Amino acid sequence: MIPTTLTLSLHAELNRKWTQYPSLKDTPEEGREELFRKKLKQCEMLVSFTPLTDKDSSLQAVRKNSQTLKRAALLDLVEYVNTPSGQKIFTESMMGPLVQMVEVNISRSLPFCKPDFDVEEDEPTLDLAWPHLQVVYELFLRFVVSSEVNAKDAKKYITAKLCLTLINLFDSEDPRERDYLKTILHRIYGKFMSHRSYIRKAINNVFYTFIYESEYHNGIGELLEILGSIINGFAIPLKAEHTTFLQKALLPLHKHVGFSAYQQQLSFCLIQFVEKDPDTASFIIKKLIELWPWCNSQKQVLYINELEELLELLGFDQLLTVKSLLFTHLGKLVGSSHFQVSERALCLWNNSHLVNSGCLSRQLAADLLPVIFAPLFFKSDNHWNSIVEGLAKSVQKLYQEFDPALYDQVAAEQSKAGVKFRGHQGVEEKILQAWEDVEKST
């Protein structure tokens, strides 16, 4: 009978020899480097955390002992690294063994995501091996950030292949692992300049796969957090590579069904682009309107949140290039049949910056008021939702105070057109009566 792979693995576990080395701090200084190396080599041995049945009680005891000894060795390595001793720890001869130990422990296939997994409702699957993985990541992080580690010497060990392994691991369901990966990859990007272009391209590929091929990825939010800092460091004028990334990778992320899970991080990246190059604002707003999810009210509210942040950064010159499209869009949002969308759109007029010096200001009232007048009137005329009705009346009052003559003029033009008020009993008569009263008073 040919033994199975599982049988061989269990047999190997039973016969594996673990040496309980002394702690590094209790070892004479001249022997610490060699002991450090031995412990790194020992920690390359993988220990399974797969639950065992009762019939495997003998293996259960062996495995528990192996888990305890390996974790103790890893913790001793981290404690030694974190404790100043005046002795250089990360010598060039030590870099190879340390990175190799890290690669052996973290390089693994991730389980397939459950088809019905809901990122907002379901609890993530936590990695059973985390007691070891956490300490491995902590040791690697100490290595990457250490002032002893020179990028020129270490880049032969921290390779592009290792960077790709780290990026692929962002699909881990365990948020604790993704948090470590985010910090480590960000530090590598900052320290190893030769890997920067490769890291950006690898992240691009993750986004492309997520947008056009797969339905789910756990780490899009964390990757976007890293990119937010990377974008902040882009040189001006922006390279074609960076604008292409904005157009083909970042903006299409809005279309994905999992948008709500990473909306804040994506919005932050777009804001970084606008702050870096204001001319990108008009393009981003045009694309956002083009991608608008009219059939999904919850997603529309998130889009409006993002639109508001972008409008706060929009310069007057950029505003003029999108004015017509933007104002028509705002009119549709205010007139939305879904009360939450209409309410959130009307809340834009509570933004003092937009009202005082932005797209909702008195300066542009002559262009905006004719577009939003009809939906405003409908919402303020006994709308079933008192909040929407109150907000609409507040916006009406605002423009009346801005320019009473303009408001009355637009009211007259709208009433004479009449088309926009059909089907709403009494609206035409009320506007006409209001206009007649104005004429009589003059």
436 pLDDT more than 80? no
Using 50, 70 and 90 to split pLDDT, how confident is the model at 215? confident
8-20 pLDDT, tens digit each = 455 566 566 778 8
pLDDT at 426: 47
Q: Is 260 exposed, middle or buried (0-12, 13-18, 19+ CB in 10 A)?
A: middle
Q: What is the mean pLDDT of residues 118-134?
A: 82
Question: Residue 92 in contact with residue 40, Cβ under 8 Å?
Answer: no
Greatest CA span in the chain, whole angstroms?
A: 106
Q: What is the mean pLDDT of residues 142-170?
A: 95
Quick one: CA dihedral 193, 198, 204, 207, positive or negative?
negative
- Rounded CA-CA distance 420/414 in Å is 8
Between helix 316-334 and helix 339-346 the angle, nearest 10°, is 150
Using 50, 70 and 90 to split pLDDT, how confident is the model at 6? very low
Q: What is the mean pLDDT of residues 95-123?
A: 81
CA nearest to 434, candidates 230, 414, 368: 414
Please state the length of the chain: 442
Q: What is the domain partition of the chain in residue ranges?
A: 322-442
148 pLDDT more than 60? yes
CA–centroid distance for 120 within its chain: 14
- Rounded CA-CA distance 141/397 in Å is 57
Question: Residue 133 in contact with residue 102, Cβ under 8 Å?
Answer: no
- Rounded CA-CA distance 248/244 in Å is 6
Give the C-alpha distances (Å, rounded to integers) separating 357 from 67, 92, 313, 397: 63, 58, 11, 18
Q: What is the mean pLDDT of residues 328-343?
A: 96
Tokens representing 344? 């959130």
63-89 pLDDT, tens digit each = 888 899 999 999 999 999 998 776 788
pLDDT at 30: 87
420 pLDDT more than 90? no
Sequence-distant (≥ 6) Cβ neighbours of residue 342 within 8 angstroms: 333, 334, 335, 336, 375, 379, 388
Give the C-alpha distances (Å, rounded to integers) separating 270 from 154, 216, 305, 419: 33, 22, 13, 39
Q: What is the mean pLDDT of residues 351-373?
A: 95
Tokens representing 93? 């001869």
- Rounded CA-CA distance 412/81 in Å is 77
363-403 pLDDT, tens digit each = 999 999 999 999 999 999 888 999 999 999 999 999 999 99
- Rounded CA-CA distance 17/82 in Å is 28
CA–centroid distance for 327 within its chain: 29
- Rounded CA-CA distance 323/421 in Å is 25
Quick one: CA dihedral 280, 281, 284, 286, positive or negative?
negative
Question: Residue 178 in contact with residue 222, Cβ under 8 Å?
Answer: yes
How much of the chain is helix, strand and coil, in % rounded to 5?
70, 0, 30
Tell me which residue has tokens 């991080």.
Answer: 265
435 pLDDT more than 50? no
- Rounded CA-CA distance 263/442 in Å is 52
Give the C-alpha distances (Å, rounded to integers) separating 58 from 5, 62, 145: 19, 7, 42
Using 50, 70 and 90 to split pLDDT, how confident is the model at 55? low
Q: pTM score, two decimals?
A: 0.87
Q: Is 235 helix (H, G, I), strand (E, B) or coil?
A: coil
